[in-house]
Amino acid sequence: MLYCVSAAFIFAGVFGVSAIEVFTPAEVFVENGTTVTLSCSFKSRELISSSSSVTWSFLPEGEAVAFTSIFYYTGGKQFPGSVPQFESRVEWAGDMNKNDASIRVIQMQFKDNGTFSCDVKNPPDISGQMSFTKVRVVMKEALPQTSAAVIVGGVIGAVIGIIIIAVVTYLIIRRQEHSHDYRGCTSLESVSSQNTRVGKKAESSNDNSCCSSPSAPVQGPVIYAQLDHSGSKNSFHKMEPVVYADIRKN
């Protein structure tokens, strides 16, 4: 027994057998009637050669039987599997030189619900394990929102919120500026200002008053007199009224 184990390790060392890593998404939602690309990538420490191969298999949902091959690719050629429902509906969509082993399934149907497996071999990297993808075929309304859509929606909402806040802030500031630009005065301040404007420039009775007296001249006391045009004491007096107005300067 010991000799067998030693021989296995020697064989692995001579021929360079190593593990290959295969990656697929854990779950994929697909709209019914559309075409989907089932992604599969791999890592290998060996150069890709013509002997490398890719096998895709399918297990229907709710069944416990073994996986059945639906697609095989090697040496730049593709071969259909043995499942009738995928006949002429599966095509190669990868590039082995770029470590891409993806396939494309046309016209997805509800009966395609199930688990798909991707198995890659790149001799001498042949001991890796296959990777599995759970596929759910649903109506368009049942498709979950992608992370990209959520991010875009969040960014748009944030931008709209910032614009609304900026507009409201601007309107509030403008309203406050208008209220500061105009401050009315009371009738008491106006009367007090007029009473102090006698014989000189008007001065405000209150240093803090923001209201000035009217710019039009204010008429002062009126003196009435009569002129004598007769030239003598006994003659008939022709009297003409004369009005003297006190014209004040502004």
- pLDDT tens digit string along 171-212? 888 888 777 655 555 444 444 555 545 444 444 444 444 444
Cβ(167)–Cβ(61) below 8 Å: no
pLDDT score at 33 = 95
| Contact of 32 with 23, CB cutoff 8 Å | no
The answer to whether the predicted template modeling score (pTM) of the entire model surpasses 0.85 is no
Whether the CA torsion 85, 88, 89, 95 is positive or negative: it is positive
> Which of 25-29, 43-47, 79-83 tops mean pLDDT?
25-29
Q: Which range, of 67-81, 135-149, 154-168, averages the lowest pLDDT?
A: 135-149
Strands 103-105 and 36-38: antiparallel
Scan for tokens 């096998």, then name that residue. Answer: 55
**Count of alpha carbons within 13 angstroms of residue 149, beta-carbon side:** 4
Give the strand pairing for 114-121 and 131-138: antiparallel
Find out whether 74 and 58 touch, Cβ atoms under 8 Å.
no
Give pLDDT tens digits for 81-131: 989 999 999 999 999 999 999 999 999 999 999 999 999 999 998 888 999
Closest Cα to residue 87, out of 123, 44, 49, 58? 58
Any residues with CB less than 8 A from the CB of 191 and at least 6 apart, and which?
A: none
Residues ≥6 apart with Cβ < 8 Å to 150: none
Q: How far apart are CA 126 and CA 115, in angstroms?
A: 22
Beta pairing partners, 115: 59, 134
Write down the pLDDT at residue 141.
87
d(CA 31, CA 214): 81
| CB-CB neighbours of 137 under 10 Å | 21
